[in-house]
Amino acid sequence: MTPVLIEMAAVMVAYRVVPHHTVQWRHAFAGALLAVVLLEAVKAGLGLYWAASAATRSCMARSPPCRS
């Protein structure tokens, strides 16, 4: 949970400080929340993809046909 909060704080500060326009903290918070939720979803999806890919590779490495 702590890494997610650190990511959110970093993104929120970046959204607040970087633009050449005044951004309210509540808007920076909303954008950071959305960004962190999407980032975590992508990380989870990649984990599932890589796990399935590793299972497929190990299955394909066997000489007899693999039936999963």
pLDDT of residue 63: 56
pLDDT of residue 59: 66
The one-letter amino acid at 57: R
Q: Give CA–CA dist 12/9, Å, rounded.
A: 5
pLDDT of residue 1: 82
Alpha helices, DSSP H only, in the chain? 2-17, 25-61
pTM above 0.75, yes or no: no
Q: What is the pLDDT along the chain (68 residues), one digit of tens a residue?
A: 899 999 999 999 999 999 999 999 999 999 999 999 999 999 999 999 988 887 777 666 665 665 65
